[in-house]
Amino acid sequence: MMISFMNTWFTTTTRSRLAFLAMACLTAVLPAHAEHEGKLQILLVGDSSTEGSMPRLMRPQGPHLEDVVRILLAAEKDLPPTNVINLGLSGEYVRRLLDTGRYDREIAKKPGVDYIFIRYGLNDYARRENFTENYPKDYSELIARLRKDHPAATLIVMTVIPYMDAEKSAQINALNRQVARDEKLPLFDIYPRYAQELRKGENMLNYRRYALSKVPEQYHELVKSFVFGKAPKQDVMVMDNQLDAQLGKLPGWFGDRHPNLAGYHVIGDETARYLAKMIREKGGKK
């Protein structure tokens, strides 16, 4: 009986081990199921007006720009599922993206990319020497690298939103149009829709960010739940017009023109409309 039991135990254990080894070997040779399979991969590349770092800090649950685009596309039942990845970074301009290595680390090796929206110009205008000449060259260099690393992707040049005054915005967007034309790429002009929405209220699409040190002492108790950062560099940050009644009269209260969540809903809504049309024209395929 003991011998019979041992033989049975040995046989069962050996079979289990062999089955485990066989499964391990099979797993090793089968390709891993990539995240991009079955979904259109959409990259959003740009500066702080793409990233939305302050809205993420103030309202982590969002929905943020990439969420808005994905959710609105999902509501169109004839479209395939999408994965929208926001690769915007505050303070970035094209030359910095290329020279710091961030492009190689975060963009070059993304798998299965189908669409890439590119929105630069604001920081380039402020930080790139000889902007008018160098910005189109930098942009063309970025496009060449994207074409090499993502040959199947559709590249889309975007205009900037109305962040600067109309004259500066027009200068930047003229160069964006030039790049799109020279590189034979589609141009997604987000500027008109954003400007149209601003007619409903010139400050309705930007958050308020103001140094606490500039806020009169009498309001410190009122604003304490809106204070971010550590002393002495603390800011009062408000997503909307909640404190305008008290602080709207302060010089520079409306000075920060970065989009709030409402602003990103405008950008996201227009992006989803633009992309839905493009996907349908391609037959809804990757």
Q: Where in the chain is the domain with CATH 3.40.50.1110?
A: 40-204+259-281
Q: What is the mean pLDDT of residues 25-45?
A: 61
Region 201-217 average pLDDT: 97
Q: One-letter amino acid identity for 3?
A: I
On the question of pLDDT at 279 being above 90, the answer is yes
Q: Position 193: which residue type?
A: R
The model's confidence at residue 284, banded by pLDDT at 50, 70 and 90, is low
**Four-point Cα dihedral 143, 271, 176, 87, nearest 10:** -50
CATH number corresponding to 40-204+259-281: 3.40.50.1110
- Rounded percentage of the chain residues whose pLDDT exceeds 70: 86
Residues above pLDDT 90, as percent of the chain: 84
214-224: burial string, b at 16+ Cβ within 10 Å, e else: ebeeeeeeebe
Helix (H) or strand (E) holding 88: none
Other C-beta atoms lying within 10 Å of the C-beta of residue 193: 17
Indicate whether 245 pLDDT > 50. yes
Residue type, 244: D
- Segment 108-121, tens digit of pLDDT: 999 999 999 999 99
pTM listed for this prediction: 0.85
Report the pLDDT value the prediction gives residue 283, as an integer from 0 to 100. 80
Give the DSSP per-residue string, 127-159.
HSTTHHHHHHHHHHHHHHHHHHH-TTSEEEEEP
What local confidence, expressed as pLDDT, does residue 256 receive?
A: 96
- Asked if the model's pLDDT at residue 35 lies above 50, the reply is no
User: pLDDT per residue over 141-158, tens digit each?
Assistant: 999 999 999 999 999 999
**41, two tokens:** 């991969």
Q: What is the pLDDT of residue 30?
A: 31
**CA–CA separation, 35 vs 247, rounded Å?**
47
Q: What is the mean pLDDT of the chain?
A: 89
| Reported confidence tier of residue 36, pLDDT bands at 50, 70, 90 | low
